[in-house]
Structure 1
Amino acid sequence: MRNKILWSDETKIELFGLNVNRHVWRKHGTIPTVKHGGGSIMLCGCFLVAGTGRLVRIEGKMNGAKYREILDENLLQSAQDLRLGRRFTFQQDNDPKHTAKTTQKWLRDKSLNVLEWSSQSLDLNLMEHLWGDLKIAVQ
């Protein structure tokens, strides 16, 4: 079964600066800062044991409607590209846009099997490891 779980998540990647928390000791004095923002990008992606699905840049504010649009344009195509057909379990966390009634209806209308995800649980989504690697690679 775990080979058929399509893990998904969104992340923000800083285009300038650190994408991971680092702690260092410094002597008293000034620390150089950047006076302009480098910006960031939001990405949405998915993967399973066999490979990665589509990586989507999120334009504008991410809300339920935009999330469903991304799913509509990319989820089933990613499953097809990964040769899953409709025989997979979709994983998403309990973000409000994921648990919205309209999103749940969209998933039911597509007859998708969704992995149960405990509310208030630690973020155990395997996609977090992939995002971490990507953020380190773009530093």
Structure 2
Amino acid sequence: MSEHKPNIKSKELSVDLRDRIVLRHKSGEGYRKISAALNVPMSTMASIIHKWKKFETTRTLPRAGRPSKLSDQGRRAVTKNPMVTMSELQRSSVERGEPFRRTTISAAIHQSGLYGRVARRKPLLSKRHMAARLEFAKRHLKDSQTMRKKILWSDETKIELLGVNARRHVWRKPGTAHHQANTIPTVKHGGGSIMLWGCCSAAGTGRLVRIKGKMTAAMYRDILDENLLQSALDLRLGRRFIFQQDNDPKHTAKISKEWLQDNSVNVLEWPRFESD
């Protein structure tokens, strides 16, 4: 005979028990196993996990209705500075003479549809760069799939070995990860790194080359000579493939252009998107 479980509502569960439910769920345990182990009805447990996924808290949220004063203050603070930390928000509430717990502040901000997320990193762009990107996208909006599949994309990149790569958190609404205010600008320089050149197409990746020392136009031409045509061949792009490179001075140098012309490589025009 199956054991009868009491009809426990989620609001009646202790914070500790709710946290244990979420912890077991995060460790990969199934609903039935958690329900049996903690003697909590499946429906109650599902409700707690759903709330945790949506609001990132197991605490009781403020009731629906007129937004609280704290919610208004939190919304104004994070709208003005999306990267304000929870510690700063809590300290601000203490300075106003209205000290609130971190969970209370978090729940109030969630009421406004804002959630703490790790800020994405994006290249630092000026308005001129943004306009150039938009114009380029519009110009190629109607390019056929066949044409796009023939493009061999290339670039150099630095892999940081030493340096500051600390994550920053940001308060934002779902779907706004790439809004400028919610991202961390990045630039293409730094110390303690190795430089790589690589290429890829819709069919896959081409050759990857480590660049030793400071790259010159002559080194770039040699990289093309030793790797570009072979990569296109390996990816079965055919002789009439389209080569993409940015406007780095080494790419647009006379010897680089001459090599591309001598080998009849069709180069995709490329506006200056960002500082190199």
**TM-score under structure 1 length normalisation:** 0.71
Higher helix share: 2
Task: Give the AA of the match of 1:76.
Answer: L
Residue 150 (structure 2) aligns with: 4
Give the whole-Å Cα distance in 2 for the aligned partners of 1:17 and 1:95: 24
Is 1:76 matched with 2:221?
no
Q: For the structure 1 residues 101 and 15, does the alpha-carbon distance in structure 2 shift closer, same or farther, using more than 3 Å as the test?
A: same
Partner of 1:66: 219
Which residue matches 1:13? 159
Aligned residue number for residue 253 of structure 2: 100
In structure 2, relative to structure 1, the CA distance for the partners of 1:122 and 1:59 (3 Å cut) is closer
Report the Cα distance in structure 1 between the residues aligned to 2:214 and 2:254, rounded to whole angstroms. 19
| Cα distance in 2 for residues equivalent to 1:50 and 1:39 | 33
Report the counterpart of residue 23 of structure 1 in structure 2.
Answer: 168
Distance 2:264 2:222 in 1: 17
Residue 116 (structure 1) shift: 0.6
Distance 1:5 1:48 in 2: 6
Q: Distance in 1 between matches of 2:260 and 2:202?
A: 22
TM-fit CA distance, 1:84: 1.6
Unaligned stretches of 5+ residues in structure 2: 1-146, 170-190
CA RMSD of aligned residues (A): 2.2
**Aligned partner of residue 103 in structure 1, secondary structure:** helix
CA spacing shift, 1:2–1:44, aligned 2, 3 Å: same
Q: Which amino acid aligns with 1:48?
A: S
Q: Equivalent residue for 1:49?
A: 202
| Runs of 5+ consecutive residues of structure 1 not aligned to the other structure | 25-37, 124-139
Q: Distance in 1 between matches of 2:195 and 2:221?
A: 16
In structure 2, distance between residues paired with 1:67 and 1:44: 9
Larger radius of gyration: 2
2:265 is aligned to: 112
The secondary structure found in structure 1 opposite 2:250 is helix
2:156–2:198 Cα contact (<8 Å) kept: yes
3-state SS of 1:54 partner = strand
TM superposition score normalised by structure 2: 0.37
Describe the SS at the equivalent of 1:57: strand
Q: Which has the higher contact order (CA 8 A, sep 6+)?
A: 1
SS in 1 for 2:195: strand
Q: Which letter does structure 1 place at the counterpart of 2:216? A: N
- Give the drift of 1:60: 1.2
Q: C-alpha distance in 2, partners of 1:96/1:22?
A: 32
SS of equivalent to 2:240: coil
The number of equivalent residue pairs is 109
In the other structure, the counterpart of 1:128 is: none
Q: 1:38-62 CA distances to partner (integer Å, 9 max, x unpaired)? A: 9311000000001000011011111
Identical pairs, percent: 72
Report the Cα offset of residue 17 of structure 1: 4.1
Which segments of structure 1 move beyond 3 Å, counting only runs of 4 or more? 20-24
CA distance in 1, matches of 2:166, 2:239: 38
